[in-house]
Amino acid sequence: MNNNSGYWKENLRLVSILLAIWFTVSFLFGIILVEPLNTIRVGGVGLGFWFAQQGSIYTFLVLIFVYAKKMNTLDRKYNVHED
């Protein structure tokens, strides 16, 4: 039982971190902080606009790959991986 507890604790920690990044990029950068970020130009558009339109999508894709890689490592650490 202790092994399962450690696995889920690390799993929830990883998910919490990735969700915090997702929230920051999509909600804070794309909606709340859009005006201050738009003073910075990226590719001819404001950074806030870029995060709302492009940056959040790229970030989500990176988060998916990070989650998959980290979970594979975690699964092997706790010996719950697929063969």
Per DSSP, the three-state class of 69 is helix
CB 31 within 8 A of CB 52: yes
What is the C-alpha separation between 26 and 32, in angstroms, rounded?
A: 9
pTM: 0.85
For 2-52, how does the pLDDT look when each residue is reduced to its tens digit (9 = 90+)?
688 999 999 999 999 999 999 999 999 999 999 999 999 988 999 999 999
Residue type at 13 in one-letter notation: R
| Residue found by looking up tokens 């492009």 in the block | 54
Instruction: Domain ranges for the chain, please list them.
Output: 2-77
CB 40 within 8 A of CB 46: yes
What is the C-alpha separation between 11 and 33, in angstroms, rounded?
A: 30
